[in-house]
Structure 1
Amino acid sequence: MTRLTEQAQGVYVIAVTPFKPDGALDLDSTDRMVDFYLEQGATGLTALGMMGEAPKLTAQESLAVVERILARIDGRVPLVVGVSAPGFAQMAELATKVMEAGAGGVMIAPPGSLKTDDQIVTYYKQAAEFLGDIPFVLQDFPLVTNVQVPVSVIARIVNEVPTCVCLKHEDWPGLEKITALRAEGTLDRRISILCGNGGLFLPEEMARGADGAMTGFCYPEMMRDVVRLMQDGQSDRARDLFDAYLPLARYEQQPGLGLAVRKYVLAKRGVIASDTIRRPGAGLTPAAKAEVDAMLTRQENRLKELN
């Protein structure tokens, strides 16, 4: 087991869940997908996230996917597993099973019922009590959860719950939040900050003090190189590279369409056999596919100019 710690950095790719055209799990494509992500430099993977279609999986399927990914990773990088659930009993059951299978940690998003700062802090304290010593990622994604988690609340959770080792930062706008969290005296200890939103703000997030990305994109090598270049102080080169991928990244971040775009491109790249979205959900129209294909051609030309 490679355990998640406060030192997590680089790119933790949010893995899609491959399906066959009939909607069944495609575990062979899962193997190829894991190989692809690791070949592209992922320092970790995250399964059963919001873009992994976790709510569409049965409990048995969720565990089967995690076990298949872990078998393919074979201890090379940590796997973080989304275990958000309506109740702590379900959360603890899945968390215990995936950790026993070899996961490195879990990710918890706040339920939409939380309305006050004290409720949010209490929720994470209680979750940590149920999970025991399992390290967890606090997912801060108010655009989806409808829960606003201010800096002061994140600080209380980090300072009072030692098993919170990482923040998945997806607030938008949220750059000032990163700056505030990295300010001296805000946190009693330094934790990892990995950012989401498809990497749309990755250069700026890295400049503000993030440690990398925990998100998905159909070209994870872009995130790998941007993170590395920003860490090496080559910000202009990082932004030039980022700009080459930006039209596709922007297109992929369309609410309700982004996963279909990501799976379509991954299928074109031979990573997964089918771009099937499990119902409810639909794939791309011919017009949308043509738009993506045109962006891929232009992206390839821009990358050639950079090199």
Structure 2
Amino acid sequence: MAKYSGIWPVAPVAFNDDGSVDLDGNRRILDCMIDQGVDGICVLANFSEQFLISDTERETLTRLSLEHVAGRVPVIVTISHYSTPIVVDRARLAKSLGAAMVMVMPPYHGALLKGTADQTFQQFAEISKVGIPIMVQDAPLSGVDLPVPLLVRMAHEIEEVRLFKIECAGAATKLRALIEAGGDAIEGPFDGEEAITLLADLDAGATGTMTSAMIPDQIKPVLTHWQAGDRAAATAAYARILPAVNHENRQCGFRSAKAVMMEGGVIRSDFSRHPIAPLHPATRAMLLDLVRPLNPVALNWGK
């Protein structure tokens, strides 16, 4: 098995109905994820609603997550920001608290402030000086183009750039090209997007996936069978979970994991801060209808 492999889901952030952060709920989320047999946990990512929390809350949740997990599984801390000094400070905090690595999107702010190839390279080089492994997040949200030659150059020339989460359109094609061109420097080729393209990405050489926290215990068998060389079993396991994953990816987004966790008694509320609207009741009901037959841990953990 590759050094970095398996399923490393994103932990959602639990809020109370009044919009305040539910600290105990966030601890319960982490415990529930660990009980699902995850290989690692990512915090403060886009599926954690990181764009809806304050800097103070971010620091509180970073400390809470690493202190509560306490080494039971590795933790990735997302530190993305347009400002390089802020990203470096976030990396230092994550390292000081025992994070296994940090995940970073290229520098961007809104639709027009986008880092060039050189600016992106320089920002990641500065983060590397902190001395913590870096996962590059190639996500459409940033709007920054990260061509394979740039990613390969980063892997070869920036010491701590080791992992790559590829979730752009045509992820399998990009993963295949990245692995072929980067060789051993690509220590952790991962996919994302709730595992909506997982089977194709595994076929392209992905060793891990970063899904939501909705049903990681049901997605993990896909990777386990694939790593064992049983393509038929992996395909069957993938077909089993795909309707729920598709509904999450296309209809619900980051609200799905909290809806399932609230239904399962993990958290008290599935609230998301404005301007995010709650799930339509019919959309939420269909999500639960698709998830219940899978009998995931999150749907029963708190009952």
The match for 2:49 is: 53
Gaps of 5+ in 1: 1-5, 301-307
Q: Please name the residue that 1:279 is paired with.
A: 274
TM-score, normalisation: structure 1: 0.88
Instruction: Find out whether 1:254 has 2:250 as its counterpart.
Output: yes
Unmatched 5+ residue regions in structure 2? 296-303
Structure 1 residue 83: Cα displacement:
0.7
Q: Is the 8 A contact 1:168 1:193 kept in 2?
A: yes
3-state SS of 2:182 partner: coil
Cα distance in 2, alignment partners of residues 98 and 267 from structure 1: 28
Is 2:168 the partner of 1:171?
Answer: yes
- Alignment partner of 2:77: what SS? strand
Number of positions where the alignment pairs a residue of Structure 1 with one of Structure 2: 290
Any residues of structure 2 matched to 1:58-207 within 5 Å, and which?
Answer: 58-112=54-108, 113-114=113-114, 116-129=116-129, 132-141=130-139, 143-183=140-180, 186-187=182-183, 189-207=185-203
What's the secondary structure of 1:106's corresponding residue?
A: strand
User: What's the secondary structure of 2:8's corresponding residue?
Assistant: strand
1:231 shift after superposition:
0.3
- Residue 300 of structure 2 is matched in structure 1 by none
Q: TM-score scaled by structure 2?
A: 0.89
* CA 1:297–1:79: 2 relative to 1, 3 Å: closer
Q: Does 1:7 align with 2:16?
A: no
Shift of 1:299: 4.9
* TM-fit CA distance, 1:221: 0.9
Q: CA deviation at 1:188?
A: 5.6
2:74, 2:100 within 8 Å by CA — same for their partners in 1?
yes
The CA distance in 1 between the partners of 2:257 and 2:127, in whole Å, is 32
- Deviating more after overlay: 104-113 vs 160-169: 104-113
Instruction: Please tell me whether the aligned partners of residues 108 and 138 of structure 1 are also in contact (alpha carbons under 8 angstroms).
Output: yes
* Residues 40 and 224 in structure 1, CA contact (< 8 A), matched pair in contact too: no
Deviation, structure 1 residue 116: 4.7
1:19 alignment partner in structure 2:
15
* Cα distance per residue 1:135-159 (max 9 Å; x no partner): 2111111x21111211111100000
**Post-superposition CA distance 1:192-237 (Å, at most 9, x none):** 1121010011122112111111221411112211111110112211
Q: Aligned partners of 2:118 and 2:183: how far apart in 1?
A: 18
* 1:266 has 2:264 as partner: no
Aligned partner of 1:290 in structure 2 is: 285
Is the CA contact 1:36–1:271 (under 8 Å) kept in the aligned structure 2? yes
Give the CA deviation at 1:57.
Answer: 1.4
Q: Secondary structure of 2:273's match?
A: coil
Distance 1:17 1:188, change over 3 A: same
Q: Which deviates more, 43-52 or 218-227? A: 218-227
